[in-house]
Structure 1
Amino acid sequence: MNWTWYTRPEEIVHVDDHYAEAYTYWLEQLTTAKVTKIIVEQDYMYGSLTLDYEQLEREPQKIGHYFVTRDFLWTIGFDDLYCEIVAAKQYATPIEAFYDLLAEKMDYYFHGIDEYEERLMMSQREMSGQVPPEFMNTIFELRSEIERWSDTVIPYRELLMAGREAFLDIDLNELNAYRLAKYRVDRLLTLIEHYQEDVIAMTDLASTLSNFRGNEIMKALTVFTALTTPVVAFGAVWGMNFKQMPELERPFGYVFAWLVIILFTLLIQIWLKRKNWIGSLLQFPSQPRTQQRLDKQRSKKTNKSSV
């Protein structure tokens, strides 16, 4: 089957009446769009596709535009290198060529996802011991980037489903190019979902540790404040400048003051300890000793056997 591949919008070609309205809309509207767009009709589909994940938050974004039919393939904005590689394979239909073009583009994505994996693994290794406060920013950057990866690859999966909808009488699974694109999409999304779970786990762990550390700091400050309360309180009393104060003339007034301060400090410390407010915040139920458990189990077995 002979078909034509067009790669420039200014090429003047004859378009069948079946595609005329859609082609006009695509050429006038979608080729200037900066978002992903997929439109499916009977025996053809067209739209726009974001090509580079790095530019999802930048302007201008790199957008590829496509118009796929049984008779011709029209692509605008796709890299010439990928188009030349696919054209050299001389596919029998434009549908095969289009999906092979998508597969070639996704093969490039694997290099980027491998670089992301290296940074993710490095960040996971750094999550030991004391980490700087800026580490949370690193986690948020990783989370934002993996979301951009997902937003980039999901339209490729939609194009696989859109092709089956547009060309109902063709079993696309019999086309090698379609199967290759499908396998690469599935592999990319599997990696992305795995890394998303890793980043979410890192975020939860960092948040939990931050909260736990904050509680430990607040507990320490509270205990310190409670223990220094007698010093502050009695210091305020004996620091008053009244002329008549009962302890001023006593020979052991200074020692008496220190004894009172130490006594109340010890009483507060004992009270906090009995309330279990000093020490680790994590308290697990106490377990009986191993030997005691074994003795109890043996005694139960003996009682059962005697019965």
Structure 2
Amino acid sequence: MAIDWKWYQVKKDEDEHIQPIFEQNRSGCNEWLNQVRKNKTNSLRIKLLDSGEKVVTGSLIYKQNFEEEGDYKIFHYYVTEEQLITVDLNFSNLKHIRPEPLFKQIKKAENAVDGFFMLLGELMHEMLVEIDQFEEALKTLIWSIRKRNGTSILEEIYMRRHELLVWKSLLIPINELKIGIEEVKLNEVSREEIFTLLVKRIERMTALLNEYEHELDSIINLEEVISSHRGNEIMKTLTVITILFTPIMAFGALWGMNFKQMPELEWRYGYLLSAIFIVISTLLLYGYLKFKGWTGDLLKGKKKDSYFK
């Protein structure tokens, strides 16, 4: 059944507008105002007054810059069945919400709780639209790994991982708010379809973030495997090259000595024989490494689209 309820939209620094509202209403408004003036983070307070009135108050960060920690938008709310107060809620920061139609829809709600749920539902809709851009960037990243797998890709992977953490930090307080509303059964005074729509959007956002998290974890695991393989290949290459050049270095060091009595100095074909000896010993050493399978894929050409090139 519809009741006569009111929605007050004010700014935190407009004391001349805020105070009259608090003088007309009770239920701990002054205490909430003190929290509004100093609170800069998400918060939630749930009260069940002696009169049986249910009150939900708190603050909610609804917009966050992914590159600047201090660049965010927060609004404060005070909700009972008969009144809704929002402080510093700026719809100009929301690209995909049309304020005028939303205001008309909220004001037609049967009570303040329905109006608040509609508001939260639109904020969730904004997040769901914005997350599509993240999905597009993630899809591009997935294919970039195959085309140009380098350090820049690894940097981009962890940028997307950070963005995902920011998205989750925005969703967690909304989910907590939903649970808190259910805790005091404030949702029971709302029309079922309105609260259900809000819940489904929260569940949808949660499912998307969980799936994206699994995708990013898989990408990170793939990158770790590729990096480990590359490191092993580099070490194997250096080891094989060192071993193959050992005969040259050993015989070079031997024949580079300057002892007075060195019989090889008088050999007519000494230079030719030493060169042949070095080549044969190097080939025999390579053959032994090849026979043991220790050269791996070092001398094989890489496939064009290989992840490990």
TM-score grouping bracket, smaller chain normalisation:
0.7 to 0.9
1:162 corresponds to 2:180? yes
| Deviation (angstroms), 1:238 | 0.7
Count, aligned residues: 277
Question: Is the 1:49–1:155 contact (alpha carbons within 8 Å) kept by the matching residues of 2?
Answer: yes
SS in 2 for 1:65: strand
1:64 corresponds to 2:49? no
Q: Gapped runs of 5+ residues in structure 2?
A: 49-53, 299-309
Q: CA–CA distance in 2 between the matches of 1:248 and 1:47?
A: 94
1:258 aligned partner = 275
**C-alpha deviations, 1:87-133, integer Å up to 9, x for none?**
31211111010010011111111221111111111111111154232
2:60 aligned partner = 49
Question: Is the 2:251–2:278 contact (alpha carbons within 8 Å) kept by the matching residues of 1?
Answer: yes
> Given the alignment, which residue of 153, 171, 184 partners 1:135?
153
Q: CA–CA distance in 1 between the matches of 2:71 and 2:24?
A: 30
2:44 aligned partner = 38
Question: Is the 1:139–1:203 contact (alpha carbons within 8 Å) kept by the matching residues of 2?
Answer: yes
Pairs within 5 Å for 1:9-158: 9=12, 10=15, 11=18, 12-13=20-21, 14-17=23-26, 19-20=27-28, 23-42=29-48, 43-54=54-65, 57-80=68-91, 84-89=100-105, 90-158=108-176
Cα distance, 1:166–1:55 mapped onto 2, change above 3 Å: farther
Q: CA–CA distance in 1 between the matches of 2:229 and 2:145?
A: 15
Question: Is the 2:40–2:74 contact (alpha carbons within 8 Å) kept by the matching residues of 1?
Answer: yes
Question: Is the 2:113–2:190 contact (alpha carbons within 8 Å) kept by the matching residues of 1?
Answer: no
Question: Is the 2:64–2:71 contact (alpha carbons within 8 Å) kept by the matching residues of 1?
Answer: no
Question: Is the 2:7–2:83 contact (alpha carbons within 8 Å) kept by the matching residues of 1?
Answer: yes
> Given the alignment, which residue of 242, 262, 271 partners 2:288?
271
Identity of aligned residues (%): 32
Q: CA–CA distance in 1 between the matches of 2:67 and 2:232?
A: 39
Cα distance, 1:76–1:53 mapped onto 2, change above 3 Å: same
| Deviation (angstroms), 1:27 | 1.0
1:183 aligned partner = 200
1:3 aligned partner = 5
Q: CA–CA distance in 2 between the matches of 1:266 and 1:64?
A: 76
- RMSD between aligned alpha carbons? 2.1
Q: Gapped runs of 5+ residues in structure 1?
A: 282-307
Q: Which amino acid aligns with 1:276?
A: G
Which stretch shifts more, 266-275 or 101-110?
Answer: 266-275
**C-alpha deviations, 1:175-195, integer Å up to 9, x for none?**
322111111111111111111
| Deviation (angstroms), 1:270 | 2.7
1:194 corresponds to 2:211? yes
1:301 aligned partner = none
TM-score scaled to structure 1, two decimals? 0.83
Q: Which amino acid aligns with 2:87?
A: I
**C-alpha deviations, 1:192-239, integer Å up to 9, x for none?**
111111111111101110110111111011100100011011111111
Point out the structure with max Rg over C-alpha. 1
Q: Which amino acid aligns with 1:50?
A: I
| Deviation (angstroms), 1:278 | 1.2
Cα distance, 1:80–1:264 mapped onto 2, change above 3 Å: closer
SS in 1 for 2:295: coil
